[in-house]
Structure 1
Amino acid sequence: KWQRYPECISPSKRKPRLGPALSTRYMPEDWFKSNRSNYRESESSRNSAERLRRDTIRMIQDKDQMTRRTQDTTSKNIGERLNDISFWRSELNHEIDNMVTEISALTDVKRRLERALAETEGPLISEAVHVILFIIILRSNRAAQHELERDLSDKVTAQRIDDRCHHLRNTSDGISYYRGIDRMDPSLPDSWSKFTDDNILHSQSERAASHKLRDEIEILLNATSNEMWDQFNSVNVSFTNRIAEMADTKNNLQTHLAKTLQEIFQTEMLIEALKKAIRDKENPLKVAQTRLEERSRRPNVELCRDNPHHRLVTEVREIEDTIHKLRERLMEAENTLQTLVKTKVALEHDLSIKANSLFLDQEKCMGTRKSFPSTPRLVGYT
């Protein structure tokens, strides 16, 4: 038997062949079995390919229909969006016209009031600011107009873009791939309409306040004369108190600055001490590690974990832990120093501001408050 099928003989027991093999490696049953296996594998592959082909064709058809439906829906949505933009453009244009009219009317009142205050703008400019509220409202009106015009400009741009998108087709020129554009996260639709609605409501509110103020200007002109005399005396007292407060604050800042400078010096000394402490640990660590390295050359059984070995390991770890903690403390000290330096800069900056404020209040402001116009001139009579 073994002579008939030499391939079954253990390789170590085979004799070297001096001629061609006298028998085959496989039996006929193996040949038929191999054929049947190839048939089954071929059939399985064909079935899998056929299923994949059917599923893929069906998927292509489904996705093609879904793509067309989605594109049609998107085109419809863009068209609706264009109608929304047209509506808000109309509302913005209407509100801008109203605001321009109101600004013009308020500007005329402002010129009248400026003529009444022409003689008082020198010594009384600080008192007049809180009285002439219409100047603030005029600025608010212009700011509201600016927001409306900017919103309108954005709407014009958006309408032009959406109109171009609305006319895009699969055969249009200029279409291309833009990878990742679908992951962009614009604002929500509700916030879009609410933004313009809020702008219009804000503008209407500003116009209402402006109109109301214009009606009160005539009364305000007569009441301002008496109020300004009271304000003149009150502001003088306020200036005196403020100057005293400013001087006291300036002195406190100088004290804090001196203490901060001293702390900076001490912190710098601490940093140097920490750096020296870290350097002082380098040689002891080198000695301990060198001892460990030298003792690692002990021969045979002499290389054991004896008490000196354990003590050296403990010593290395203790020194390394000490260095680690010293470095942490060094980092903390350096961060503290940075904070102190920032505080120093802030204090110095604040001191310069306080000094400038004292100069303005004492020399400039109080210097211009040495005269006060008469009542007829306060109400605008020449």
Structure 2
Amino acid sequence: MEITFTGNTGNDVGISTAGYRTNKFNQKEWRENNYALYLQSFKDRENSEKSRNDATNLINSTEAILRRIDDVTKKLGERILDISFWKFELERVIQDLLAETDLLVALKKQLENAYRATELPLHIVTDNLNCRLRRQGIDLVEDPVEMALLKEMKIINDVRDLLKKTIARAEQQIEANRDAKQKLEMDWSDKKEALEIDNRCGMLRDHHTDKQFYPGSAKFQENQSSPESWAQHTHDNIIMAENERMSSIQLQGLIQNILEDTSKDMVEQHNNVLKEFQKHLQELDDSKFKLQTHLKKICREISDAEKSIEDLNKAIRDKEDQLKKAQTRLEARSHRPGVELCRDIPQYKLISEVDEINNAITALTEHRDGSNQLKNLQDTRMCLEKELSNKINSIFIDRQKCLTVRERYPSSLRLKGLQ
């Protein structure tokens, strides 16, 4: 160690010129300098000892810090377990919600199929009603068949409205399920990222090289959550998702009941319409048979009436010949000469005969011309023929048009949307 001496002469002289100094240190200065060196040495030793003691204390305190660091690693492990637990719960709820959503989507498709299946029954009942408008005469009646068809149309329209509303409700529930699933997936993604970070932090050791200083990192951020709010956030998301899942399950049961009830109502009313058709067709067939029977009788009666009129005409013609003969005799005898023009018995007989024949011809003519039976019979025949034509037309419409179309009525499975 090089020691430099200083004096109070006011001139500093380097080592190279030491031999040439005219002024030298005195004894006092020499002693003071030594004393200063002793004092400095004491202070340095004292400071060194204190530093060593502080170092020892610091080492001991850092050992406690290291123990706390080990405690942080343990707490990180516990935190990893917490995150893993909630991450597993989120995965479970996501899978459950996804399965329920898939079932609801399948039921929604079944509803749409059922809704499309109602188009054919609606077309059938509309066609039936339009066809029956072509019935003629008295057959254009508001009968039980028409009432059953109108009821069927109302049932179909009500079913279509209900299915349409249920489809809309299913779409809303599916959207709610997907929104809940998205929130769960975002939470799960955050948990996954946080788990990777904490795993990496928990595995970090002093001898690892992938560490460095980050000044300012040891402070709380304003947007940080508390452990309670962190757990409550995930808990709320899971509760919300479970509520949506339960709503989805309830809606699935409702949809199943709706599909079952609507198909049952439509098939039941379809069968009722068929029964009314069969009953009405039986009545039409009976009426047709009776009309045909009466028409045959009327035709026979018309034939007999026409023969009777012909007999009357023949009788009149025969009486007219007899009248001509009697009148010709009277005319001839009126030309007898003189006294021969006598009112004898033949004269009286001929005159009486003419009167009787005239009375007979008059009676026959009046009976022939005064009777309207033939006209009435002919009018009745025309009415029967027209009514029979109406019945044949009604039977054709109900049996050939309506019932033939109703053979295309969809099955119960198709009305449920399963085909």
Same fold (TM > 0.5): no
Q: TM-score, normalised by structure 1?
A: 0.43
Indicate the structure whose relative CO is greater, using CA pairs within 8 Å and at least 6 residues apart. Answer: 2
Of structures 1 and 2, the larger Rg is shown by 2
